[in-house]
Amino acid sequence: MENIKAIEAKDRIILALDVDTIEEVIKYTELLKDYVGFFKVGLPLFTSCGFRAVEVIKEHGGKVYFDGKFQDIPSTVAQTSINIVKNGINFFNISATGGSKMMVSTLNACNTYAKKNNIEPPIILAATLLSSFGQKTLTNELGVEMNISAYALKLAKIAKEAGLAGVVAPDTDAAQIKKELGKDFIVVCPAVRPTWAIVNDQIRIVSPSDAIKAGADYIIIGRPITDAHDPVCAAKLIITEIEEALKGNDEV
């Protein structure tokens, strides 16, 4: 990826394609490819349309971010991730809670495949904690007594030590992650919602402006754009919000 600071506002938007059909994938890719940086293919779309969704996005001029949050034994995740790279995806995530061995094995396998086939090595992120998690879930259900932000930071440190490029983490953790792990360590912020959008099912949500000000390099946003009466207008409003936040960061 290019220098993080030099990335344009529109390219910081990862549009979540929470759809079920190839026709919808084509519709949104054609409509929004000039207003977002990546189209996110998650598990619902992938299990509905498979790699055809990836192919269609690329055929229509878009770039793909694959959100699979893979977690399994190291060899399984490594082989699965090689198959992701084989299909032209070079920006995806695995689960940080899978452990360092899983992360290192995956990174090494993907880099080896990329080098052997003379292609750009993948950008691999570690997803820290789901945006639907709160402290109660972490402590009462998973038995983790640490503060949720401290636990996310611990997972981010493990990911960096394993050699991954960054993490998927909420804005509440972004500033501390950047402070502890460096400005070049990528932070992708999920559950982003403009103030004019409905919250839906995430607990920890944030506006585009707040996410960028907190240190996020990319934001994941879906329904506020795709469900808007005018998706292009919605995307433009978010681009403007990001641009203003970036100016504020430069002035600090």
Which DSSP string corresponds to 52-81?
A: HHHHHHHHTT--EEEEEEE-S-HHHHHHHH
Give the whole-number percent of the chain exceeding pLDDT 70. Answer: 94
Q: Return the active site residues.
A: 69
Look at residues 87, 190, 79 and name the one whose alpha carbon lies nearest to residue 129: 190
| 193: confidence class by pLDDT, cuts 50, 70, 90 | confident
- What tens digit of pLDDT does each residue of 77-94 get? 999 999 999 999 989 999
Measured between alpha carbons, how far is 26 from 88 in angstroms, rounded to an integer? 18
**pLDDT given at position 122:** 92
Q: What's this model's pTM, rounded to 2 decimal places?
A: 0.92
User: Is 80 exceeded by the pLDDT of residue 138?
Assistant: yes
On whether the 4-251 domain is CATH 3.40.50.300, my answer is: no
Contacts of 134 (CB under 8 A, 6+ apart): 148, 203, 204
User: Is 80 exceeded by the pLDDT of residue 248?
Assistant: no
- What tens digit of pLDDT does each residue of 94-134 get? 999 999 999 999 999 999 999 999 999 999 999 998 878 88
| 170: confidence class by pLDDT, cuts 50, 70, 90 | confident
| 187: confidence class by pLDDT, cuts 50, 70, 90 | very high
Measured between alpha carbons, how far is 93 from 70 in angstroms, rounded to an integer? 7
